[in-house]
Amino acid sequence: MKKHTIAVLVNDQPGVLQRVSGLFGRRGFNIESITVGTSEEAGLSRMVIVTTGDDSTLEQVTKQLYKLIDVIKVIDLSANPMVARELALIKVNAEPAVRPEILGVVETFRASVVDIGTHTLMVQVVGDTEKIDAMIELLKPYGIRELSRTGVTAMIRGNARP
Amino acid sequence: MVAQNATLKSKEEIIEKLKKPEVISGSEILLRSLVLEGVECVFGYPGGAVLYIYDAMHGFSDFNHVLTRHEQGAIHAADGYARASGKVGVCIATSGPGATNLVTGIATAYMDSVPMVVITGNVATTLIGTDAFQEADITGITMPITKHSYLVRKAADLPRIIHEAFHIANTGRKGPVLIDIPKDVSAEMTMFQPVSEVSLRGYNPTVTPKKQQVDKLIKAIETAERPLVLAGGGVVYSGGHEELFEFVTKSGIPITTTLLGLGAFPSGNELWLGMPGMHGTWTANMAIQNADLLINIGARFDDRVTGKLKGFAPHAKIVHIDIDPAEIGKNVPTDIPIVGDVKTVLEIANKDVKWAANADAWRAQLAGWKAEKPYSYKDSDEVLKPQWVVEMIHEETKGEAIVTTDVGQHQMWAAQYYKFNQPRSWVTSGGLGTMGFGFPSAIGAQMAHPERTVVSINGDGGMQMCAQELAICAINNIPVKVAILNNQVLGMVRQWQELIYDNRYSHIDLAGSPDFVKLAEAYGVKGFRASNKEEARAAWIEAMNHPGPAVVEFVVNKGENVYPMVTQGSTIDQMLMGDEE
């Protein structure tokens, strides 16, 4: 089982997210994360989906996606040198005594504090999945109140060709 | 038959009139667009959300509308029409329950790649999402069982959407497309601008194959000692039966045709081995298991064909020709994939294909098996055997009828004992296995081919799932000949309970079903009953000679099983052969 990051260029039509996610569901393909937003072209959206499975699963996912009329292009980003990023907001318990420690972690990760409450800090961290996982591990001992991750968005590097 | 409307004008006149841009309602746009797509026959059922559409149809004579007695009847009829004619089947239903009654029929068409355009009404756009009266999210409900679907937001989009829908339904791997039209959209007045171009960036099926892949196939045939063609519904759908005949007879490669491929190759030809799979011939299954080259032409390696995948065609190099790339490698690892339209692929292959010179011993071996182990059953003079009935129907119709079936034992017997010689003469729900399909699909097939004999073979179970459509046969004088093989039991379930569930017969008794002769006559359809061979042939001949629709109930024996049978989880060479003679 391998993790694959794929980009799906789709028509920006009502129901298109349902078509794509429904396809994954009914064919038994796993979705680890899915992000959707506008693309460089008006009328088209780009979805970035992280899925797990062997190579034949990926082949089936790709072929089945192409069968959707609203799907324009499917690219296996992770088969290429790529940049993958996600953003997480982490609300962590932070009594005044431990704040310097937490700020130390935040600084090391080049993350930032985006909100300060009486008993909590909200930390924003951007990076690849491993970096965010590591950050969460380090903040766990303080008590994470709330965690929200965007899921991965990704792109092939400038000099690589899909 | 439904009388062609006397006021029907010449086609050209109609088209010219219809193309004129003018301000009309969404409903009128729909009707005009359907005519411009060449629609001649629509099956439907009105209701609140399609009242504007039916209002526009008042006095409309540019296509036939057949009012069924249930939406399920309408969609199966549209399906039968499409399968028998190769044209797009069209049906109309209202919102909510009207639309949800179509679901089984849409899934049936989707599984068997049948081109259909399904039109549903919906509540007004202002009410969508409010759980309004008769509201159902039919585009959402049918997303997994349609090739594509549209929820129309404004009437001005209708010409484009309808044109796209017909294009999508009837190109590439064919399938049903749903158009959901809210009531206010069907009422909206707008300028009608006919659309004749399609621009779909995300839809461009590969028709012409890569030449080097076809070359690989040709090369593989040159060296093969035990080559075999496995042909499926894709041959019929692409219109490639003549090309298939040329390919097979030029190469001398023996051929087996799947359930949906019956008729794609003439059954009388010596190279034809019959159907493969769960109830296939001994020879076809053994041929697959012994082949060193298996050329799949437009079939999808369905589990009823392959049996246990591990151990399927263990010695064969696999070639797979399919218009849908997602089918290739889905179930069976493929050595030579060829993506393209079957007819086009075979046209190209036929330029180079030569007699498979190393396969003489193989051909002789298969011919021997075929002669030695045909389908067989123990005939009887005491009880009427269902297999005999099918053979008799085959004889009396000279093998030239369009045969539709329901699902179960009678379906398999029809597939085994009716020998097809031409495509689009066999209408059966293969993928979804939909009971209730057999009879209404025959109505559609007859509408498509008024001149041909259409026979619908049913069981006593499935016949009761759509019997209400007898009404439209009688009213419109649609002369379908309905055979009911009545064994008073859900036969295929009984067979599985006998063989796999240790004779524990659970809820399969259909005794006490209505008297089918009286049922037919209640609808104004001629009814016959037969319990022995003599009666059976006499009743059938009389039914055939009757100018209108007729139902013949054949009282057949209860305990008959379909053989050969490959039980689930076995490889296809593990066949139960039953009590052969």
Query: Is residue B374 within 8 Å of residue B364, measured between CB atoms?
Result: no
Q: In this predicted complex, what is the ipTM? A: 0.93
Tokens of B1: 């038959």
> Which of A61, A62, A63 is most worth mutating to test chain B (most B CB atoms within 10 A of its CB)?
A63
Closest CA to B30 of B167, B139, B197, B156: B156
Q: What is the pLDDT of residues B345-396, one digit of tens each?
A: 999 999 999 999 999 999 999 999 999 999 999 999 999 999 999 999 999 9
Per residue, the 3-state secondary structure of chain A, as one string, reads: CEEEEEEEEEECCCCHHHHHHHHHHHCCCCCCEEEEEECCCCCEEEEEEEEEECHHHHHHHHHHHHCCCCEEEEEEHHHCCEEEEEEEEEEEECCHHHHHHHHHHHHHCCCEEEEECCCEEEEEEEECHHHHHHHHHHHHHHCEEEEEECCCEEEECCCCCC
pLDDT at B12 (0 to 100): 80
pLDDT at B97 (0 to 100): 98
Q: State whether residue A14 sits within 8 Å of chain B by CB.
A: yes
pLDDT at A162 (0 to 100): 64
Taking an 8 Å cut-off on Cβ atoms, the answer to whether B143 and A15 are in contact is yes
- Shortest alpha-carbon distance between residue A47 and chain B (Å): 15
Q: What is the dihedral of CA B378, B381, B382, B384, to 10 degrees?
A: 70
pLDDT at B19 (0 to 100): 87
Task: Please enumerate in sequence order all residues whose Cβ is within 8 A of that of B483, keeping only pairs 6 or more positions apart, or say none.
Answer: B389, B393, B455, B456, B457, B458, B540, B552, B554
CA distances to A17, A153, B360, B369 from B142, rounded to whole Å, are 15, 30, 50, 45
Each as own residue / partner, the long-range contacts of residues B381-385 (CB below 8 Å, 24 or more positions apart, any chain) are B381/B532, B381/B533, B383/B556, B383/B557, B384/B530, B384/B531, B384/B532, B384/B533, B384/B536, B384/B554, B384/B555, B384/B556, B384/B557, B385/B556, B385/B557, B385/B560
Query: Looking at chain A, which residue has its C-alpha nearest residue B164?
Result: A69
> What number does CATH give the domain A83-155?
3.30.70.1150
- What's the whole-number average pLDDT of chain B? 96
Q: What is the pLDDT of residues B170-226, one digit of tens each?
A: 999 999 999 999 999 999 999 999 999 999 999 999 999 999 999 999 999 999 999
- Shortest alpha-carbon distance between residue B94 and chain A (Å): 21
| Residue B60 appears among annotated catalytic residues | no
Distance CA B522, CA B518 (A): 6
- Could you check whether the bond before residue B564 is cis, i.e. omega within 30 degrees of 0? yes
| Residue B183 appears among annotated catalytic residues | yes
Computed on alpha carbons and rounded to an integer, the radius of gyration of chain A in Å comes to 18
Residues in chain A: 162
Contacts of B200 in chain A (CB under 8 A): 69
Contacts of A67 in chain B (CB under 8 A): 173, 324, 326
Q: For the domain made up of A2-79, give the CATH fold.
A: Alpha-Beta Plaits (3.30.70)
Q: Which of A15, A26, A71 sits opposite B202 (nearest CB)?
A: A71
Catalytic residue among B134, B213, B365, B574: B134
- Shortest alpha-carbon distance between residue B427 and chain A (Å): 26
Distance CA B539, CA B551 (A): 10
CB neighbours (10 Å) of residue B23?
A: 9
Query: In chain B, which residues touch A (CB < 8 A)?
Result: 139-140, 143-144, 147-149, 151, 168, 173, 200-203, 324-326, 329-330
Contacts of B326 in chain A (CB under 8 A): 60, 63-64, 66-67
| Residue B134 appears among annotated catalytic residues | yes
Distance CA B434, CA B102 (A): 12
Q: Are strands B23-25 and A82-93 parallel, antiparallel or unpaired?
A: unpaired
Q: What is the pLDDT of residues B557-569, one digit of tens each?
A: 999 999 999 998 9
Query: Looking at chain B, which residue has its C-alpha nearest residue A15?
Result: B140
Distance CA B101, CA B476 (A): 23
Query: Looking at chain A, which residue has its C-alpha nearest residue B204?
Result: A69
CA B99 to chain centre: 21
CB neighbours (10 Å) of residue A143?
A: 14
Contacts of B201 in chain A (CB under 8 A): 11, 72
Q: Which of A18, A60, A69 sits opposite B326 (nearest CB)?
A: A60
Whose structure tokens read 């049918």? B142
Q: State whether residue A72 sits within 8 Å of chain B by CB.
A: yes
Mean pLDDT of the region B117-133: 98
Contacts of B154 in chain A (CB under 8 A): none
Query: Looking at chain B, which residue has its C-alpha nearest residue A9?
Result: B202
Taking an 8 Å cut-off on Cβ atoms, the answer to whether A64 and B326 are in contact is yes
Q: What is the pLDDT of residues B484-514, one digit of tens each?
A: 999 999 999 999 999 999 999 999 999 999 9
Residue ranges, CATH 3.30.70.260, chain A:
2-79
Q: State whether residue A35 sits within 8 Å of chain B by CB.
A: no
**Under-70 pLDDT residues of chain A:** 162
CB neighbours (10 Å) of residue A50?
A: 22
Helix-then-strand count for chain B, H and E: 23, 19
Distance CA B117, CA B36 (A): 14
Closest CA to B228 of B195, B200, B256: B256
Mean pLDDT of the region B46-57: 98
Q: Which of A26, A59, A72 sits opposite B202 (nearest CB)?
A: A72
pLDDT at B368 (0 to 100): 97
Task: Please enumerate in sequence order all residues whose Cβ is within 8 A of that of A100, keeping only pairs 6 or more positions apart, or say none.
Answer: none
Percent of chain B with pLDDT over 70: 98
CA distances to B189, B269, B455 from B274, rounded to whole Å, are 56, 10, 21
Task: Please enumerate in sequence order all residues whose Cβ is within 8 A of that of A24, keeping only pairs 6 or more positions apart, or say none.
Answer: A30, A31, A49, A51, A61
Domains of chain B (ranges; CATH) run 19-192 (3.40.50.970), 211-372 (3.40.50.1220), 386-566 (3.40.50.970)
pLDDT at B581 (0 to 100): 44
Strand, helix or coil for residue B157: helix
Query: Is residue B463 within 8 Å of residue B409, measured between CB atoms?
Result: no
Taking an 8 Å cut-off on Cβ atoms, the answer to whether B326 and A70 are in contact is no
Q: Which of A15, A59, A70 sits opposite B139 (nearest CB)?
A: A15
Query: Is residue B104 within 8 Å of residue B437, measured between CB atoms?
Result: no
Q: Which of B151, B200, B330 sits opposite A60 (nearest CB)?
A: B330
Closest CA to B404 of B415, B396, B395: B415
Q: State whether residue A56 sits within 8 Å of chain B by CB.
A: yes
Is residue B5 scored above 60 in pLDDT?
no
Residue ranges, CATH 3.30.70.1150, chain A:
83-155
Strand, helix or coil for residue B402: strand
Q: State whether residue A71 sits within 8 Å of chain B by CB.
A: yes
Q: DSSP readout, B74-143?
A: HHHHHHHHHHHHSSPEEEEE-STHHHHTTHHHHHHHHHTT--EEEEEEE--TTTTTS--TT---HHHHHG
Catalytic residue among B147, B183, B370, B526: B183
The region that residue B198 occupies, defined by phi over 0 for left and psi between -120 and 50 for alpha, beta otherwise, is beta
Q: Are strands A44-53 and A2-11 parallel, antiparallel or unpaired?
A: antiparallel
Catalytic residue among B116, B412, B465, B492: B492
pLDDT at B3 (0 to 100): 47
Query: Looking at chain B, which residue has its C-alpha nearest residue A70?
Result: B202
**Backbone phi, psi, residue B47, to 5°:** 180, 180
Taking an 8 Å cut-off on Cβ atoms, the answer to whether B140 and A18 are in contact is yes
Taking an 8 Å cut-off on Cβ atoms, the answer to whether A69 and B200 are in contact is yes
pLDDT band at B580 (very low <50, low <70, confident <90, very high): low
- Shortest alpha-carbon distance between residue A45 and chain B (Å): 13
Q: State whether residue A117 sits within 8 Å of chain B by CB.
A: no
Taking an 8 Å cut-off on Cβ atoms, the answer to whether A10 and B202 are in contact is yes
CB neighbours (10 Å) of residue B500?
A: 11
- Shortest alpha-carbon distance between residue A83 and chain B (Å): 26
CA distances to A68, B7, B175, B190 from A36, rounded to whole Å, are 17, 54, 28, 34
Residues in chain B: 581
Query: Is residue B336 within 8 Å of residue B221, measured between CB atoms?
Result: no
- Shortest alpha-carbon distance between residue B326 and chain A (Å): 5
| Residue B365 appears among annotated catalytic residues | no
- Shortest alpha-carbon distance between residue B331 and chain A (Å): 10
Q: What is the pLDDT of residues B426-452, one digit of tens each?
A: 999 999 999 999 999 999 999 999 999
Contacts of B140 in chain A (CB under 8 A): 15, 18
pLDDT band at B15 (very low <50, low <70, confident <90, very high): confident
Catalytic residue among B133, B191, B211, B270: B133
> Which of A64, A67, A72, A74 is most worth mutating to test chain B (most B CB atoms within 10 A of its CB)?
A67
| Residue B197 appears among annotated catalytic residues | no
Query: Is residue B241 within 8 Å of residue B373, measured between CB atoms?
Result: no
Tokens of B43: 């099956």
Whose structure tokens read 């004779």? B503
pLDDT at B20 (0 to 100): 87
Q: What is the dihedral of CA A67, A71, A77, A80, to 10 degrees?
A: 70
Q: Alpha helix (H) ranges present in B153-273?
A: 158-169, 183-187, 211-223, 233-238, 241-251
Distance CA B538, CA A61 (A): 56
Query: Looking at chain A, which residue has its C-alpha nearest residue B137?
Result: A15
Helix axes B491-499, B409-417, angle to 10 degrees: 100
- Shortest alpha-carbon distance between residue A40 and chain B (Å): 16
Contacts of A66 in chain B (CB under 8 A): 325-326
